[in-house]
Amino acid sequence: MRLRKSCALTRSTRRRHSRPTSDSHEPVRHEPPRGRDAGRRTMWTRIKDAMCGVSALMIVAAAAGPVAAQSKAPIRIGEINSYSGLATVYTFPYREGLLMATKEINDAGGVLGRPIEFIFRDDKLKPDEAVKAARELVGQEKVDFLAGCISSGVGLAISAYAKEAKVLYIATHCQTSRLTWDDGHKYVAHTTNNVNQYVRALAQKAASMRYKKWAHISPDYEYGHNVWEEFSAYLKQLKPDVEFVQQNWPKLGETDHSSYVTALLQSGADAFLSSVWGAQEIAFVKQARPFGLFEKVHYFSASVGNPDELDPLGKEAPVGAITPGFAWYDDGMQKRHPKLAEWVKKYEARAKKEPTLGASWGYASAYIIAEAIKRAKSADTDKVITAFSEGFEMEFPWGKVIMRGCDQQAIPPQWVGVVRMNAQGKPVLADVEEVHGKDVIKSCDEVAKLRAAAAEKKK
């Protein structure tokens, strides 16, 4: 207070001494100080001026608060995903969840006083398009990190580029376990579950039921192969007497599944697993219903229980299907996770629609990325990688997510249930059972062996 008053007095005194007095037309003349006094007074004036300047800057900074922090350059993240074609039932809600979390983070002051910003690109479900976008985002947009993917093939392609370019890639949506395991490296982290976790939860359910003869239909690319390998291996481990009688591999994006429906009906299987997904899964279900496939062979699906697919299916949903899913509306799930209902309301207020699995993935991914940067105390690539490699845990409205350090892989809760129609005639996931990913996922020692085997193959 004294300094502020002194600054004000000094400035007003100078102004008075430089103006004419009110009772004279002649300016008031002041004799300048001479000798040592002149030096001392000049020096003291300079010191007071400097102190006043520092004080003013401190006052301005304090008044600005979060606004000043937000004026810093943003932390820029290049987000590459499939925003056209069959994936949009997942990716549009995912982007909404991502942006919802980003706004919350930035409204609270950002990360290390800097806002985070996502720059979106559409990979069109093509690995070469994704790598092209990654090069442009890093080379021209100068992003700090890369993120995104729903296609596992796309995710592996971006990961390979990230390793080469030494830029951190945070995979947020694609599911193949190979991303952080067989082909894992320090420049890739994964913020959602991988195939191993939810397929093992599904296989546990399958093993508890009477079915012995199994078939499958899976898209003929990385994700489909990974799902079938994980499911068949774990089911055989849990139930050694099972048989696998038929495999079906439609291309990703196939629109006509009639020949595959016929094959499944003739397979002699008691049950079958589907890992077709998104718009392709919706088309498959609609084409299979008139043939009574789901009544004749029990249907297990890797994804149809999610609102992203159930809601578009409506009354054509495959009642009785056993499947994982994000059943945010389930009474049991809301009792286990009391904060879930509040999050749903916030999402609905923003998006004007109910949330989906994709929305939860986007929301969690933004916060996990922000937390890693916060723990690193920097947006420096190597420091953020160190934060991921040390591991951490975060609480979300649907439960705890563990970011495991050994593989930089997220481990969230998993849910498996059965598709039913509710009283309003809407398809839902019912009889939901919850298991945490940490109770089914492969161990760090197993991951190390997978990486060693993959490295040996490349020699």
Residue 278 identity = G
Specify the pLDDT at position 174: 94
Contacts of 237 (CB under 8 A, 6+ apart): none
Q: Do the beta carbons of residue 217 and residue 189 sit within 8 Å?
A: no
Compute the distance between CA of residue 322 and CA of residue 270 in angstroms, rounded to an integer.
13
Residue 400, strand partner residues = 395
Specify the pLDDT at position 43: 42
Specify the pLDDT at position 51: 41
**Which of these, 250, 243, 81, 235, lies nearest to 158 by C-alpha position?**
81
Q: Do the beta carbons of residue 107 and residue 133 sit within 8 Å?
A: no
| CA-CA-CA-CA torsion sign (416, 418, 419, 425) | negative
Compute the distance between CA of residue 209 and CA of residue 113 in angstroms, rounded to an integer.
53
Q: Do the beta carbons of residue 105 and residue 116 sit within 8 Å?
A: yes
pLDDT in tens, the chain (459 residues): 333 334 433 333 333 333 333 333 333 333 444 443 444 444 444 434 444 443 443 333 333 444 444 458 999 999 999 999 889 999 999 999 999 999 999 999 999 999 999 999 999 999 999 999 999 999 999 999 999 999 999 999 999 999 999 999 999 989 999 999 999 999 999 999 999 999 999 999 999 999 999 999 999 999 999 999 999 999 999 999 999 999 999 999 999 999 999 999 999 999 999 999 999 999 999 999 999 999 999 999 999 999 999 999 999 999 999 999 999 999 999 999 999 999 999 999 999 999 999 999 999 999 999 999 999 999 999 999 999 999 999 999 999 999 999 999 999 999 999 999 999 999 999 999 999 999 999 999 999 999 999 999 988
Chain-centroid distance, C-alpha 99: 11
Q: Do the beta carbons of residue 145 and residue 77 sit within 8 Å?
A: yes
Specify the pLDDT at position 458: 87
Contacts of 429 (CB under 8 A, 6+ apart): 305, 310, 323, 325, 327, 330, 415, 417, 418, 419, 420
Domain residue ranges in the chain: 75-195+338-412+443-457, 197-334+416-438
Give a three-class secondary structure readout of the chain. CHHHHHHHHHHHHHHHHCCCCCCCCCCCCCCCCCHHHHHHHHHHHHHHHHHHHHHHHHHHHHHHCHHHHHCCCCEEEEEEECCCHHHHHHHHHHHHHHHHHHHHHHHCCCECCECEEEEEEECCCCHHHHHHHHHHHHHCCCCCEEEECCCHHHHHHHHHHHHHHCCCEEECCCCCHHHCCCCCCCCEEECCCCHHHHHHHHHHHHHCCCCCEEEEECCCCHHHHHHHHHHHHHHHHHCCCCEEEEEECCCCCCCCCHHHHHHHHCCCCCEEEECCCHHHHHHHHHHHHHHCHHHHCEEEECCCCCHHHHHHHHHHCCCCCEEECCCCCCHHHHHHCCCHHHHHHHHHHHHCCCCCHHHHHHHHHHHHHHHHHHHHCCCCHHHHHHHHHHCEEEEECCEEEEEECCCCEEECEEEEEEEEECCCCCEEEEEEEEEEHHHCCCCHHHHHHHHHHHHHHCC
297 phi/psi in degrees, rounded to 5? -135, 125
Asked if 75-195+338-412+443-457 and 197-334+416-438 have one fold, the answer is yes
Residue 458 identity = K
Specify the pLDDT at position 71: 59
> Mean pLDDT over all residues of the chain?
88
Residue 361, both tokens: 């993935």
Among the CATH numbers 3.40.50.620, 2.60.40.1180, 3.40.640.10, 3.40.50.2300, which is that of 75-195+338-412+443-457?
3.40.50.2300
Q: Do the beta carbons of residue 84 and residue 123 sit within 8 Å?
A: no
Name the architecture of domain 197-334+416-438.
3-Layer(aba) Sandwich (3.40)
